[in-house]
Each structure stands twice: as C-alpha cells, then as structure tokens.
Structure 1
Amino acid sequence: MEKLAIIDMGSNSIRFVVIQIADNNSYSMLYQQKESIRLGEGLSVSGCLSADGMERAMICLKVYEHMMHVMKIHTCLAVATAAVRNAKNGEMFLNRITNETGIHIDIISGEREAYLGYLGVINTIAMKDFILFDLGGASVELSLIQNSIVKYAVSIPIGAVTLTEKFKLQNNIALDNLQECTKLIRHYMAAIPWLKNSQLPLIGIGGTVRNLGKMDQKATNYPLPKLHNYQLPRERFENLYTTVINKSYANRKKIAGLSSERADIIVAGAAVIQCLFELTRDNELTISGYGLREGLFFEHYSDYCHLKKGWNADILAFSSNNFLRTLDNIDFQHVDKVCQITERLFDLLKDIHGYGETERRLLITAARLHDIGKVINYYDHARNSAFMIGHASLYGLTQKEQIITACIAGFHHGISNKTVRAYRYSNVPTAEDWTMIRKLSTLLALAEAADVTYEHIVLDVSLTIADNVIVLVLTTTPGAVTSAADYEMNQLLKQFKKEFQMTLLLIWK
C-alpha cells in the first residue's frame, strides 16, 4: 500500500491531493485541499514573484507539509508551473520552500505541463481526436490529440491572471482594453497552424473553464452536481461571455456559479476561450475536471503497477473495476457470472430489443456494479447501488450515460415506479431512455436471479423464438439444484412480458 501526495503550485492557486494505492492496486482519493494564493500576481509587470504571493504560498505549503506528516506520507510529487517558470526569482523561491518545509518542487516545462494534462484527460474522457487546452493564471497549454496520441503541443505565455493585469480587466471593462487583449491572444494563437479551422472537439482544463461550467449549470438548472465531462455549447458560452464583460467586478461576484475569487480574472480567461472557439470553429466545449494532478498520478500509477504508460484502451472497464476493488466484501465470482449471463441475454435478444454497442456497454457496467449498494446496507441495496454508480468516478461515460447506468442497476430487483419518482436524477433520461432502462434492467434482473444462490451453476444460455414465445434454455453444472434460481427467475416473467411484449419460458438443462 502507498499513500501519495501531489502538489500543484500554479499562478493562481496551490492544490494538494492525497491518493492511496491499496495492496490490490486499486486507488482512491483520501484528501484534497485548494488555496487561492495568487502567486503570479504582479508577475507581468515586475517579472518576479511578489513577496506577498510567496508568503501566502509558504503558509499554505507548511500546512500541506504538516498534513503529510500526520498522514505518514513519504512520497510527494510536487510541481510548479508558469508563474515560477517565468519568474526571475522562481528558482530562489523553490530553494526557500525546500529549506523551510522539506518539500522539493520541480519546475515543469510548458510541454510537460501539456503532456500531464493530456494524461489526466485521456484516462478519464472517451475521446480520440480533440484540441486540449489547459488555461492557467500565467499560460495556456494547447495540444492536438489524434487517435488518442499527442500530435503537437505548445505553451503560450498568456493566462487569466497575467492578461487581467496587463489589460486592466479587473473591474469595469473598457472596450479598447478588451479588444487589445483579444488582439494579443489571437496573435499568439495564429502562430499555431493546426488550430485554425480544426473543427475538432475542444476539451478545457483549469479553474476558469470549471467556473464557466458552474455558471452554465446554474443558469440552466442542470440537476447533476458534476463538472467533469460536462458539455458547454458555444452559444451558451457566448451568452456567459457577454454577461461577464458587461458587468463590473462587484456585479460579477453576484453571478450564480462564479467563484468570488475568480470574479476579477474571469473576463480575461473567457476571452481566451472565445478566441479558441473563433479560431477552431468548434461548437462545443467539454469541461475536464481532471488535468495535471491526475496526469501526475496516472504516470506514477502506471510505474507503480508496472502498466503500459500513457492511456488505457478501455477506461470504462478499468475505472469500474478499480471502483469495485476499493470496496469490501465483493464476491467477484458472482459479479463475473452475472455479467456473463447479462451479456449473453443481451446478445441473444438483440433482434428483439434492437439496441446496439452503446447500450450493451451501459448494461454490462450496470451488471458489474449492481450489488455495490450492499456496502451501505443489504435492504434496498439496489437503490443504494444506483446512487453510488451515479456519483462514482466512472470514466468513459457521458454524464447522462452514467445516470442511465445507475438506473439500470437500480432496478435489478424489479422495476418500481415509486423508486423512479423518488430518484433524484430521474428527469435526466428521456422517455425513450426510460423504455430502454426498463428493458435492460429486466435482463439484468434475470441474470441476477439465475445466480441467486451464488453457486454459479449456469454455464451457458441459449434460446429459440417461435411466434410470440421465447424459450430460454439454461445449461447448468452437473447435479446442480436449480429450484431457487428457477423460482427467482419466474418472478420476473410478468415483467419481461410487459417490457418485451413476448412470453418467456425457462428450460433447465
């Protein structure tokens, strides 16, 4: 087992996370803290880190050092980005940090910063071709990703803090100042040939990006309290941009979803994104809650577990299995058997239900996680499983797909309209989605019932269809007692007929 601390000292804030890698190589976050220190404040004018900024950073880092001592953490990955990288006194400040706290912080290049952001995204968002940008306080890192591999990466020295100071965008916005700001942004971006008219999806990392996502969620009454993999259409972004540039600092602080500590720098940060939209001609921004820190972790984790470096081919399977391994008392043989039967039922009935690979993926994920609610309590564990799946760190799904997966698992003991009404996110799936959820949860319920005794007696499943009747043949281990499974599966025949408009007969072989 290892406890790993990660410190990311940026231009605007310092972030501290603690992640545990268990003996079975599963990982989970134990602690996280963030402090806004404005280390890059005044850097664009003086070229140096200010005394006040460094003092705020020292106070914060001494707290983090104490936390590592209390938590008995011996491995710390600590990096500094653009503010320290560009400051004349950056190296001197890092020497002071080491002397006073014992924490060794590495200055990373813009290219490495871009690569770590890429690792954080490619392991958590299922896209293969996109433009990635990491917008910080003193720089923005841009990468072109093709077939999941970094094709090009560049760092340009414009960020939300430095642009705000240079063009005086903190309070009431002078149009001339904003125009000069966007002119400079376009100048830097025009020198990047692969950006123009790329029409590739945009994925954004950083506090400005997340804050814009929060603002959009508040404005649209979005029901999920989650930013990672949230889609912000260009039209709605431009409405937010118009709002922030037309308000004073005092009034920007009142905008729902906008952090008060970012109200002064949001205009400059949003201007960078506006220029990216214009240049790439893309129409949607995907917000990544994961970036540099997660990239540092995945890089370390792949070494620790002797895995292939870079990215995982199936991030959904990897993350769902990782989540399972963080829980106690999971019967993995039962999980595997339910998944096997569920998958077989889906494939055999494909001509009946008409669903494809996407729905199959959601169903198998629901099957793998269907029993996790038992860690809360056995009674009503299906509903508990739905809640946990809806909030788990599952990657490779859109936010809507994750809720649909949660709903499928939530009804593996039978469909209850009362549960549908009570589920907090029941309005996220459409009526068409709910039809699919009911059908797929019926298949999962049948698979769960087939292994109700946890004896794994079902070896194979086959079927024949005649007229309006489906004959399901379950081949079992020699001498298996099938009465319990037969009883449980028969309780679901009425539900099956309601959802599929066909009669199901069971034959044990």
Structure 2
Amino acid sequence: MSKVTTIIDIGSNSMRMVVLQKSSRFSFSLINETKSRVKISEGCYENNGNLQDLPMQRAYESLKSFLNISHALKSRKIICVATSALRDAPNSKVFISRVQKELGLNIKVIEGEKEAYYGGVAALNLLHDNTFITMDIGGGSTEFSFIRDGKIEKSISLNIGTVRIKELFFNKDDIEGAKKNILDNLKKIFELGIEIPKKVVGIGGSIRAFSKIVMAKNDYPLDILHGYTYNVKDEVSLFNKIINARNNDDLKSVGVKKDRFDTIKEGTFIFKTILDELNIKEVVTSGVGVREGVYLTDLLRNSNHKFPENFNVSVRSLLDRFQIDEKQSAYLGSNAGKIFDVLKPMHNLDDKFRTLLVIASKLHSIGSTLNFYKSNDNAFDFILNGLNYDFLHTSRVVVAHTIKFSKKSLPSKSDILKYQELLPSLEVMQWMSFMISLNIAINQDLSRPKVEYVLNNNTLEIDLSNKSFLIQSNIDKLESPEDLIIKI
C-alpha cells in the first residue's frame, strides 16, 4: 500500500477528504482532513433526482482544490468514492465523466450496503467497543452496520437523509409525512430478524453537530468528539428544542453553529425518530466513517478488515512517528507490568489499569522529544489529543495524567480536579503515578537493568543487577502511596 494515501468521499451534503500516512505494517496517522459543504444533491429531490448545474460546479471546484492538497502532500494513491447523491441521480454520469476527463480522477459510486459496511469497518477498528450499531445520517441516505462480538453481522442503507427529508417534507411543513417516511423505511431493519444492540455509534455531520452541542451544554472537560458518549434519555429536551426551533435565532440559542442552520432540524428529527423506534439507550460519537473505512479495507485486506488482536493503532503510530527506541519502549512496558503485578495486593486495581500503565510507560518519552524542558507537561497535552483512535475518553485521560505525574511527588486532589469526572479516585491516580515513576527511575541511566521485585507485607524489595548511585538516588526521592516501603 502507498505510504501516503488520499481518500475522498463525495456525500449528498458534504465532500470530505482525509490524507493518511502509513508508518509501519498496520499503523498510520492523519496528515490532512478537509471538508467542503458543496451540497451536490441540492435541488435534486425536487427535480426527479437529477443533479443541478450549480451544485455540480461547486463539487467540481472543490475536487480541484482537494487534488491540489493531495499532490502537495505527495500522495501516490487517491481513492474517490461517491454515495447517495450520485448513486441515485439519473444524470450522475455527466459529472463523473467531466471529473475523469478534466481532472483525471476516477469516481467510484458505491452501493448503499457497501457504504454502510465501510462505516462499520471504521468504527469496529477505531473505537473501543465490539457490540453496537453504526448509524450514518447523510444528505440522501442513512446507513447502518450491526456489529456483535467484534464482527459485522449485517449492513443496510435506507433512503432517509437530511436533504431528502427537507426537500420532500420539511419545506412543505409535512412533519407527519416525514415521520411516516422514516418509520416505513425502518421496517426493513426489523425484517432483518437480528437482535438490535442498545448502543449506537453515530457517524455523519448531523450527529457530530448534535454531540458538540451536548458537550458544550454539559461543560464536558475534554474537547474531543471521537468517542464522546451520552445517554439518550438525558438529552430529550435538547432534541426537542432543536426540532421545534422556529428560526435561526432559536437554533443559535441552543448552540447550533451557523453552517448547520440549513439541515440541523432535519438531521436531529431523523436521529431522534430512529433512536426512539430502535429503543437505543446510548450514543457513542464517531469521528471516523466511510473515508477511514475505505482506507482500512485496503490496509487490512489480508486480515478480514480487522486489526490483529491487542493491536492499538494510536500507540503504534506514535511510537513510529516519534521514533522511540523499540528496546527502551519494550523494556519500560515489560517492567511496568512487573511492578503492577507485584504491588497488586496493595493497590488492588483492575487489570485495565495495568494496560494503561504499560501504554503510559511506553509513551512517556514523547514529552522529551517535543521539548526536553517540562517534558511531562508537554506529553500530557499531546497525549490527550494524540491517542486518536481505539481509546475511551477515560482511558486517554488516565494515560495522560499518569505521564504528567511521573515525577517525585504524588498528585493531589487539586491536580486532577479539572478532569475529575473522567478519572478514577485520587488514590488510584497516586498509585499509577508512583508505579510509572518507579519504572522510569529503575531505568534512569537507560541501561535496561535486570530487576526482580518481591513484596513482603508493605515492603517492596528490589533486586537490581546494576545498582548505580543515579538509580538509587532517584528511587530514594520517590513519594510512595500509603505505607509502602522500598528496599533496594
């Protein structure tokens, strides 16, 4: 697969592009993301589905700009897919032929089921969950993938979309007609005869826009959309305020951005109607979708479109990008596990914290790469945003704080106050801080010494093969939790 790959997705409402750079066999990082709300399907549903000249011209001009960005980033592979608008339009070949002839770009029009499958592949690999439904509300259609126990059971596309509903029903004040249309389409889901999970992974601009409003309303401490989760019942009032808004001022008052005024009511109406009909309890917001799904089906074509077990693309891509010494990283990861295991009778933490301690230990040196001085603070800020995929918000916050407090003193209550709702107890974070600090102190001279640990009551006995003064002095300075005594 090409080192730099561009994926372009021509949707009914927005056209999006991601440029991804591969760093090792399965890892990659995002180097560009561009969006243009060309509204290529504007006016088509009122004209027998035919694409109109002005929207097609907007899309053509945006594609030229997308290709300029792609070429500047030295992308050697460009995959362009189109969904509902071009799939449904009788005159789509006019646009496709012009783009191929004048821009040299081949557009692949994908079927609805394939579009839904791509969304499922993206969410399955890049979100930390394995049983859910993906729901991708677009301008012309809505796609669903049903994932259970880490496998995609079924994918389906329905003719429900924000632009479609707006032009056929909302512009005519036929809200009941819109609801009937949605419910009639949803019957096809029940006809599948499969169990419907109670958790939805929301994809698409309308769902993301709604999630941003929820985050702001709830004063959520982390400004990261991918992985943001909320309960449907807690947001019923917000749903209704947007759906019943009389004008743009009403929309603005609840936090809707100007660029969403045109379709947010329709998108929210579709979203709530589907959530209610399928009896969904929880929504997880996805920052990835069709584009990432297209990329991953190419990248993972020899592994059933799924990452290997226990592979984390965010961790691997950061290790690649910052060229962290593999031997040092492996040593710190292994030693972190040893420290966690031997101290388990005292800290009694869930094993998920063992995984997070190992990850924090492997990535802590990123801060020094960014800037040696205040390296822990640098790493904290970067890790909060750098662990892009496959991490719960709680997990990335724990990893970032564990790295931040890998120093002599333990964190206090005031140190974790800002992110308190996403963190475990102060006691847990003090143990995490101590364990990573001990791990780093053991390898202070980067010699990767052989070490054995034994816990006798509340005394941790450390047997070092190379007990240098530097290591000894750094361990002596550590503040330990509870009544733990360290003996070397």
TM-score by length of 1: 0.90
Q: How many Å separate the matches in 2 of 1:69 and 1:319? A: 26
Structure 2 residue matching 1:500: 3-state secondary structure: coil
* Residues 71/198 of structure 1: CA separation in 2 closer, same or farther (3 Å cut): closer
Partner of 1:202: 200
* CA positional deviation for 1:23: 6.4
Contact 2:7 2:17 in 1 (8 A): yes
| Residues 26, 313 of structure 2: 8 Å contact kept | no
Q: Secondary structure at the match of 1:155?
A: strand
Q: Give the aligned partner of residue 429 of structure 2.
A: 437
Cα distance in structure 2, aligned partners of 1:227 and 1:106: 29
Indicate the residue corresponding to 1:181 in structure 2: 178
Amino acid at match of 1:346: F
Q: Aligned to 1:203, what secondary structure does the other structure show?
A: strand
Q: Paired residue for 2:266, among 268, 285, 289? A: 268
Name the SS of the counterpart of 2:189 in structure 1: coil
Corresponding residue of 2:138: 136
**1:266 is matched by which residue type in structure 2?**
I
What secondary structure does 2:167 align onto? Answer: helix
Name the CA distance, whole Å, in 2 between partners of 1:231 and 1:485: 43
Match of 1:454 among 437, 443, 446: 446
Q: What residue is the counterpart of 1:11 in the other structure?
A: 12
Kindly, what percent of the aligned residue pairs are identical? 25
Cα distance in 2 between the residues matched to 1:258 and 1:128: 31
Could you tell me how far 1:346 is from its partner in structure 2?
Answer: 0.7
On the 8 A contact 1:27/1:326 being kept in 2, the answer is no
Which moves more between the two structures, 442-451 or 483-492? 483-492
The offset of 1:395, in angstroms, is 2.9
Counterparts of residues 209-224 of structure 1 (less than 5 Å): 209-224=207-222
- Aligned-partner Cα distance in 2 for 1:216–1:346: 37
Q: 1:394 to 1:370 in 2, by over 3 A?
A: same
Structural mapping, 1:251-330, within 5 Å: 251-255=249-253, 257-303=255-301, 308-314=303-309, 317-328=312-323, 330=324
Residue 109 of structure 2 aligns with which residue? 107
Amino acid at match of 1:461: E
Cα displacement string for residues 95-149 of structure 1 (whole angstroms, at most 9, x for unaligned residues): 1111111111100011111111111111111211111111110000112111111
1:254: Cα distance to partner? 1.3
Measure how far apart 1:26 and its partner are. Answer: 4.3
Deviations 1:237-266, CA, capped at 9 Å, x for gaps: 322221112212322441454232222211
User: Shift in Å at residue 383 of structure 1?
Assistant: 1.6
Q: 1:372 to 1:72 in 2, by over 3 A?
A: closer
Q: Deviations over 1:351-395 (max 9, x none)?
A: 111111222122111111111111221121112111111111343
Residue 422 of structure 1, CA deviation: 7.0
Cα gap change, 1:453/1:169 in structure 2, threshold over 3 Å: closer, same or farther?
A: farther
Q: More displaced, 364-373 or 201-210? A: 364-373
The residue that corresponds to 1:404 in the other structure is: 398
Corresponding letter in the other structure for 2:164: T
Matches within 5 A, 1:473-488: 473-476=462-465, 480-488=466-474
Residue 297 of structure 1 deviates from its aligned partner by 1.6
1:428–1:316 distance in 2 versus 1, CA, 3 Å: farther
- Give TM-score, length-normalised by structure 2: 0.93
1:450-502 Cα offsets, whole Å, 9 max, x none, are: 011111112x4221313xx31323242xxx3533222211211xx11xx1323
2:26 touches 2:307 (CA, 8 Å); kept in 1?
Answer: no
Distance of aligned partners of 1:169 and 1:483 in 2 relative to their CA distance in 1, 3 Å threshold = farther
C-alpha distance 284-232 of structure 1, shift in aligned 2 (>3 A): same
RMSD: 2.3
Tell me, yes or no, if the aligned pair for 1:169 and 1:178 is still in contact at 8 Å. no
| 1:406 shift after superposition | 0.5
Partner of 1:56: 58
Matched pairs, number = 485
Q: Which runs of 5+ in 1 are unaligned?
A: none
Q: Secondary structure at the match of 2:448?
A: coil
Structure 2 residues not aligned, in runs of 5+: none
C-alpha deviation, 1:37, in angstroms: 0.8
The residue number in structure 2 matching 1:504 is: 486
Deviations 1:50-84 (A, max 9, x none): 11110111111111222233333331010000000
Q: Cα deviations across residues 137-187 of structure 1 (Å, max 9, x unaligned)?
A: 0000112111111111111111011101111259xxx4xx22221111111
Indicate the residue corresponding to 1:44 in structure 2.
Answer: 45
Q: Aligned letter for 1:473? A: I
Q: What is the distance in 2 between the residues matched to 1:464 and 1:2?
A: 48
For 1:416 and 1:425, the matched residues in 2 are separated by 17
Name the SS of the counterpart of 2:106 in structure 1.
coil
Spell out, residue by residue over 1:25-62, the C-alpha distance to the aligned partner (whole angstroms, 9 max, x if none). 64222222111111111222211011111011111111
Cα distance in 1 for residues equivalent to 2:55 and 2:273: 30
Change beyond 3 A, Cα 1:152–1:69: closer
**1:2 shift after superposition:** 2.0
Q: Verify the 8 A CA contact 2:43 2:51 in the aligned structure 1.
A: yes
Task: Report the residue type matching 2:453 in the other structure.
Answer: S
* Pair 1:324–1:257, CA change in 2 (3 A): farther
SS in 2 for 1:20: strand
Is the 8 Å Cα contact of residues 129 and 200 (structure 1) preserved in structure 2? Answer: no
Amino acid aligned to 1:456: R
Give the whole-Å Cα distance in 2 for the aligned partners of 1:416 and 1:44. 62
- Which of 228, 231, 235 lines up with 1:230 in the alignment? 228
Distance 2:298 2:257 in 1: 32
Contact conserved, 2:145 with 2:152, CA < 8 A, in 1? yes
Structure 2 CA distance for aligned equivalents of residues 23 and 404 of structure 1: 26
Q: Report what 1:471 is aligned to.
A: 460
Q: More deviation in 25-34 or 199-208?
A: 25-34
2:244 pairs with one of 243, 246, 254: 246
